[in-house]
Structure 1
Amino acid sequence: MAQRSEMNVATGLRLLAVGGFAIALAGCSMGNMFAPAPSGGASLQNASPTKAELNTAATSALPAIATECPPIKVRAGGEALFYYGKGKVGNPRDLNYQAVIDKQSRNCVVSNGLITVKMGVVGRLLLGPSGNQTEITVPIRFAVERDNVAMFSEKYEIPVSVLPPAQSTEFVKVVENVAIPYTGGEQIVIWVGFDS
């Protein structure tokens, strides 16, 4: 009988310890819920910024990066450029050089109803069997269309140097600060390609 009452006391103490621990944890999670509010705390509940504070915040804020930057695509037929000497188009032995687009990229920033695009292309120029040029100009066109209407289109003549004994070289072109009006929902596509 004494053994049973000792077990009941031990079990009761364990339950009491667990209950006290649970109450202590609950008190910790409440923080200072019952403490008095700091001075002026009530006035913060209905506070709103002044116009001057809003203007200061707006001018110091960084522009938001567009969540959906328009895709950049290579225009069909503009992915490669072939130049043949003496007007012999299509004969591989008469190929002076060819240029190809390796990759294209873009990034965008949206601010004040405009989407500002920075776009670029990396390409490679390779001399052909009849090629001996060291200075070549490669024509690249960037265009931006919004709902199938051209908002920007510009052709760039990119000088490329091929220094012997090299038979190929890379070229890069980056176009910055192209601003397109954007209200949301428009279909915008960036195009790039050779413009022969």
Structure 2
Amino acid sequence: MLAKKSAMKLGKSIAVIATAALSLSACVGSFASGKDDKQYLDSSASRTEIANSAPSAFPIVASECPEIRVRQGAEAYAIYAKGQSGNAKALRYQAVIDKQSRNCLVSNGLITVKMGVVGRLLAGPKGGSDTVNVPLRFAVERDSLAVFSQKYDIPITITPPSQGEEFVKVVENVAIPYVGGEEIIIWVGFDPKG
């Protein structure tokens, strides 16, 4: 009885495998045979063919969104009491960037970027109840050439007894020419001089 059940299971397994093999051979055969199907064998679209098809294509999320980096030396911004720059005891406020993020959409030869940061403004020993404008700059480089640069003054208020306040800045719809293969870098950082 046990041998009969095993033989039946084996027979069913062979039938399932045979059906799957026939289905796969039908799929492979339909792509590799026929006059019109030869275009799929060992060929790739040219840049011109891709460009010509782009206007009718739907926007897609970029599979490789440009990296967003904090510019070296611009990761923190300190405000001191007048005439006491660099004196830790005279520090009024310090802003820092905690997180940065970006999102991309590719369509019609453009990559459209949405970028943002989350940061904090912290009160120092000389801090008080005040509103501070934090100078934050976003920039985009394409093959080492600046294609976007904008400074934003973000007003932040710290009200005691709180010693810090979070801020968020998002910039949307920054369009950059994009064919593929370019080196694109998004920069962010504090820019008190610009």
TM-score class, shorter: 0.7 to 0.9
Amino acid of the residue matched to residue 172 of structure 1?
V
Query: Structure 2: any 5+ residue segments left out of the alignment?
Result: 26-34, 37-52
Question: Is 2:104 the counterpart of 1:81?
Answer: no
SS in 1 for 2:181: coil
Quote the Cα distance in structure 2 between the aligned partners of 1:128 and 1:21: 76
Question: Is 2:178 the counterpart of 1:186?
Answer: no
Quote the Cα distance in structure 1 between the aligned partners of 2:10 and 2:80: 90
Question: Is 2:121 the counterpart of 1:122?
Answer: no
Quote the Cα distance in structure 2 between the aligned partners of 1:109 and 1:133: 41
Aligned ranges 1:1-196 → 2 under 5 Å: 25=16, 28-29=19-20, 30=22, 58=56, 61=58, 63-196=59-192
Aligned-pair distance for 1:26? 6.7
CA-based RMSD: 2.9
* TM-score computed with the length of structure 2 as normaliser: 0.73
Q: Which structure has the bigger radius of gyration? A: 1
Aligned-pair distance for 1:134? 2.4
Aligned-pair distance for 1:25? 4.7
* TM-score computed with the length of structure 1 as normaliser: 0.72
Runs of 4+ in structure 1 deviating by more than 3 angstroms, as ranges, are: 16-31
Structure 1 residues 29-61: Cα deviation after superposition (integer angstroms, max 9, x where no partner):
447x9xxxxxxxxxxx96xxxxxxxx9xx47x4
SS in 1 for 2:159: coil
Quote the Cα distance in structure 2 between the aligned partners of 1:97 and 1:137: 11
Aligned-pair distance for 1:23? 7.6
Quote the Cα distance in structure 2 between the aligned partners of 1:195 and 1:23: 70
Report the count of equivalent residues. 160
Query: Structure 1: any 5+ residue segments left out of the alignment?
Result: 1-12, 34-44, 47-54
**Further displaced range: 131-140 or 76-85:** 131-140
CA separation of 1:195 and 1:27: change in aligned 2, threshold 3 A? closer
Quote the Cα distance in structure 2 between the aligned partners of 1:23 and 1:131: 79
Aligned-pair distance for 1:84? 0.6
